[in-house]
Amino acid sequence: MKSYRKELFFNVPTRRAFINITPQVEECLRESGIKEGLILVNAMHITASVFINDDESGLHQDYDVWLEKLAPHEPVSQYRHNVGEDNADAHMKRQVMGREVVVAVTDGRLDFGTWERIFYGEFDGRRKKRVLVKIIGE
């Protein structure tokens, strides 16, 4: 069995953003040379997510509005998380949107369902963060 590991880096200039990382993940898969197996992609921070959904900008705005209703950023004084920190909402948004995805690798390709793409969800940006890509198979 072969195994491959790579870290992807993101430094999002805004507090929140959704980024389609499917091309980077596909590049990792090419580099790995693995044709049959599993690929894991996970955020390595507790204020960011990796998830799968549609690459449609309206939906991404809808997510942002929905997450702001669930866990508004302001006022930060409503949260008890590490008094003085301002990212309690980012921890909650990450919890809802998830930590990782696993995708089957079949015939050297990501075995997606219809319209599925992989996204990095940033909820407390403006600093360098990492995403882990791990691929196992043969």
Q: Which helix (H) or strand (E) holds 16?
A: none
What one-character-per-residue DSSP string does 40-70 give?
EEEESSTTEEEEEE---HHHHHHHHHHHHHH
Min. distance of Cβ 61 from Zn ion in angstroms?
Answer: 25
The CB-nearest residue to Zn ion is 87
Closer CB to Zn ion, 10 or 137, in the complex? 10
Q: Which stretch binds Zn ion (CB under 5 A): 5-13, 37-45, 87-95, 100-108?
A: 87-95
Phi-psi map region of 33: left, alpha, beta (phi>0 left; psi -120 to 50 alpha): left
To Zn ion, the closest distance from the beta carbon of 91 in angstroms equals 6
- Distance in angstroms (rounded) separating the CA atoms of residues 138 and 136: 7
Q: Specify the stretch interacting with Zn ion by CB under 5 A; choose among 22-30, 71-79, 83-91, 102-110.
A: 83-91
Separation of alpha carbons 75 and 43, rounded Å: 26
Applying CB under 5 A, the span of 34-42, 51-59, 77-85, 105-113 interacting with Zn ion comes to 77-85
3-class DSSP state for residue 92? helix
Residues 23-62 that bind Zn ion (CB under 5 A): none
- For residue 124, the minimal CB distance to Zn ion (Å) is 7
Query: Does residue 87 touch Zn ion according to CB under 5 A?
Result: yes
Residue 123 Cβ, how far from Zn ion at the closest point, in Å?
10
- Number of shown-chain residues binding Zn ion (CB under 5 A): 2
Integer angstrom CA distances of residue 111 from 12, 40, 49, 81, 132: 28, 13, 21, 39, 19
**Contact positions vs Zn ion (CB under 5 A):** 85, 87
